[in-house]
């Protein structure tokens, strides 16, 4: 009953299930001619997100394919695409997006599945392209909302997803089926999905070939052309040409690095630059990189072994990813290469390299704590060489500058990617995108995965180079429906809900824009609590109002303003009709509005005013 495939890494990649399918999970028929079948229907699952009305959504035409990107078309992150034809739906990726600076307290953002709430019985499966959080991060929160269907992905990605799922004990057990480059999936009667291996900065990544009744759609996932990757094979160009030979109607291509001309740097070139550093540096080496960049971590460990250095890895997420990758055979190193702190502290400086998280200046990450003398046992010293083997994510410039300030205060040497080619991005640049499009020769080109400006630049640069007419470049927003018929595709004006669903602690979707607005207000101008005691029957003020300021003024140094504010509140609450009872809501709104105007005139600040009425 279990479909089997051969792994692209030379070992059995059989899709295993233990025991019975969980309630609500899919049942599978017997495989036929090497195909996975995913045609069963899950039990309906009540949708937990707030219901939102569809905006101008039309009923699905039976002879049209609908492509709906729920996230990743207006931001970097939250990648999720819905393919729908007739009664069959399958989903590609369920990512998260990290919060913007104006989202205080938010842990991350996931996709809005409102559109799918009454279509759960049509969802045939989920495909995950690779193991980065912007493609897997929403899985614990969203799989149950679509009936917990079978999830198909590569061996390494499956391991990362399983490890992360352990943190979400209330989420249903996942039915994960592993795939490789030779796998073929059937999703209902409408979709046949094949795969091709792509290079990124994490191993075991795949693009999709989606065969539908109207034509073939190719989805690149995150990719780059790397002729000499580290610890994996380069992309199979012959396989791409074979796909193109059968005809491609729409090519959906990664836009994250589309604004950068040329071709992406090879990981092997990065290795050559890093090797030069290994040859020259005599003291301790500390390398900051992304926890998910396992190809870079492997490269650093291999160089450490070559040059006689021991390796200490710090950072929970990096250690976890390495553990999963090494257990599955995607990372290889000698057992005695890795050391803990007890062993590391006895080593000469020129025999140790520390690989850690925090190159983006994250407050609680290892590198920042070292720079701030805030780590339990690691500290920077004069002979250290700190290597930033990563680019700076837009929006993190200030925190990275602060991090570098801290490192330089320790008189350590700093090397970053502007000085040497010690970082290669995982996303295709313009030259790579043009090359891919020229191989595929699609009829329509659809930029995906990036901010709107990235999609536009991708569409313009590739469109001009490959000779696309403007109406053959499909650029949509999140939730906008792309309708594809035989030989024709268009971006419609129809939309489905694609709002931000905020995750804050244990709450998912319970933080609204109103709550965020209040948080922003408190962050900008603080808050003032006004406590007044009144007589219940008459509304008469019993005693002087009490004031509590948080983030607005320092009350001990603002005595005049405090007294003026108390006086203003007393005037507002002066009882003009002692025979009338107090109306709580009226009095609270009066304090908010009139006191807000008064404080603005006095301070040019707008604190959040919280009136507290005590009736006696």
Active site residues: 254, 427
Q: Is 228 left (phi over 0), alpha (psi -120 to 50) or beta?
A: beta
Q: 109 — phi, psi (to 5°)? A: -125, 140
Nearby residues of 527 by Cβ (< 8 Å), 6 or more positions away: 521, 549, 550, 551, 552, 607, 608, 609, 610
Nearby residues of 306 by Cβ (< 8 Å), 6 or more positions away: 275, 278
Instruction: Please answer whether residues 150 and 126 qualify as being in contact, where contact means their C-beta atoms are separated by less than 8 angstroms.
Output: yes
Q: Which two tokens stand for residue 557?
A: 């140094």
Report the run of H or E that residue 507 belongs to, with start and end.
Answer: strand 507-508
Q: How far apart are CA 1 and CA 7, in angstroms?
A: 18
Q: Write down the residue that tokens 């008459």 correspond to.
A: 538
Sign of the alpha-carbon dihedral angle for 596, 602, 604, 607:
negative
Q: Which two tokens stand for residue 263?
A: 């071709």
Instruction: Please answer whether residues 358 and 371 qualify as being in contact, where contact means their C-beta atoms are separated by less than 8 angstroms.
Output: no
3-state per-residue secondary structure call for 308-339: CCEEEEECHHHHHHHHHHHHCCCCCCCHHHEC
Q: Nearest CA to 216 among 482, 484, 459, 492?
A: 484
Q: How far apart are CA 302 and CA 343, in angstroms?
A: 19
Residue length, the chain?
616
Angle at 160 between CA 264 and CA 97, to 5 degrees: 65
Nearby residues of 315 by Cβ (< 8 Å), 6 or more positions away: 291, 356, 357, 358, 365, 366
Q: 108 — phi, psi (to 5°)? A: -165, 180
Q: How far apart are CA 505 and CA 106, in angstroms?
A: 8
Q: How far apart are CA 534 and CA 342, in angstroms?
A: 65
DSSP code, position 360: T
Instruction: Please answer whether residues 441 and 244 qualify as being in contact, where contact means their C-beta atoms are separated by less than 8 angstroms.
Output: yes
Q: How far apart are CA 179 and CA 155, in angstroms?
A: 7
Q: Nearest CA to 448 among 207, 243, 138, 226?
A: 207
Q: How far is CA 432 from the centre of its chain?
A: 23
Q: Nearest CA to 372 among 333, 407, 424, 321?
A: 407
Task: Kindly write down the DSSP assignment for every residue of 393-444, as one continuous string.
Answer: PTT-HHHHHHHHHHHHHTT-EEE-TTTS-----SS--HHHHHHHHHHH--SE
Q: Is 527 helix (H, G, I), strand (E, B) or coil?
A: strand
Instruction: Please answer whether residues 110 and 99 qualify as being in contact, where contact means their C-beta atoms are separated by less than 8 angstroms.
Output: no
């Amino acid at each position: 009953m279990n479909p089997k495939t051969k792994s692209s890494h030379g070992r059995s990649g059989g899709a295993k299930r233990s025991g019975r399918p969980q309630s609500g999970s899919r049942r599978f028929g017997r495989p036929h001619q090497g195909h996975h079948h995913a045609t069963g229907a899950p039990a309906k699952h009540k949708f937990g997100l707030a219901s939102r009305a569809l905006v101008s959504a039309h009923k699905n035409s039976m002879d049209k394919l609908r492509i709906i990107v729920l996230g990743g078309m207006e931001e970097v992150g939250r990648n999720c695409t819905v393919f729908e034809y007739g009664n069959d739906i399958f989903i590609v990726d369920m990512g998260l997006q990290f919060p913007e600076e104006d989202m205080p307290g938010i842990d991350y953002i996931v996709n809005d599945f409102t559109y799918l709430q009454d279509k759960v019985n049509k969802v045939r499966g989920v495909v995950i392209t690779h193991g980065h959080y912007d493609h897997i991060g929403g899985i614990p929160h969203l799989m149950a909302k679509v009936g917990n269907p079978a999830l198909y992905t590569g061996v390494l990605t499956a391991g990362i997803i399983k490890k992360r799922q352990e943190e979400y004990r209330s989420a249903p057990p996942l039915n994960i089926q592993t795939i490789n480059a030779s796998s073929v999936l059937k999703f209902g009667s409408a979709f046949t999905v094949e795969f091709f291996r792509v290079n990124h900065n994490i191993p075991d990544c795949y693009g999709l070939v989606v065969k539908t009744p109207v034509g073939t759609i190719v989805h690149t996932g995150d990719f780059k052309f790397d002729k000499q990757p580290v610890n994996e094979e380069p992309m199979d160009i012959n396989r791409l040409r074979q796909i193109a030979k059968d005809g491609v109607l729409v090519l959906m291509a990664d836009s994250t690095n589309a604004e950068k001309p040329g071709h992406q740097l090879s990981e092997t070139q990065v290795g050559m630059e890093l090797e030069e550093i290994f040859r020259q540096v005599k003291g301790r080496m500390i390398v900051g990189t992304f926890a998910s960049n396992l190809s870079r971590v492997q490269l650093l460990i291999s160089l450490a072994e070559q040059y006689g250095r021991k390796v200490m890895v710090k950072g929970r997420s990096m250690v976890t990813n390495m553990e999963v990758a090494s257990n599955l055979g995607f990372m290889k190193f000698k057992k005695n290469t890795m050391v803990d702190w007890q062993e590391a502290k006895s080593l000469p400086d020129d025999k140790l390299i520390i690989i850690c998280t925090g190159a983006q200046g994250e407050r609680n990450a290892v590198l920042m704590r070292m720079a701030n003398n805030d780590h339990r046992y690691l500290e920077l010293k004069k002979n250290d060489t700190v290597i930033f083997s990563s680019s700076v994510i837009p929006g993190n410039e200030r925190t990275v500058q602060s991090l570098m300030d801290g490192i330089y205060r320790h008189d350590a040497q700093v090397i970053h990617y502007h000085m040497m080619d010690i970082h290669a991005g995982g996303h295709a640049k313009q030259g790579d995108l043009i090359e891919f499009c020229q191989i595929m020769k699609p009829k329509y080109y659809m930029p995906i995965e990036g901010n709107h400006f990235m999609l536009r630049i991708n569409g313009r640069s590739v469109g001009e180079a490959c000779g696309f007419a403007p109406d053959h470049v499909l650029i949509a927003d999140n939730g906008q429906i792309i309708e594809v018929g035989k030989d024709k595709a268009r971006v419609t004006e129809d939309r489905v809900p694609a709002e931000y669903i905020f995750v804050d602690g244990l709450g998912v979707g319970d933080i609204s824009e109103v709550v965020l607005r209040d948080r922003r207000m408190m962050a900008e101008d603080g808050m003032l609590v006004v406590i007044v005691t009144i007589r219940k029957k008459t509304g008469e003020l019993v005693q002087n109002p009490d004031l509590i300021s948080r983030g607005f003024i320092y009350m001990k140094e603002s005595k005049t303003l405090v007294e003026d504010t108390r006086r203003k509140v007393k005037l507002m609450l002066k009882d003009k009709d002692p025979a009338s009872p107090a109306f709580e809501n009226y009095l609270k709104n009066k304090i908010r509005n009139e006191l807000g105007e008064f404080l603005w005139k006095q301070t040019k600040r707008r604190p959040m005013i919280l009136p507290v009425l005590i009736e006696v």
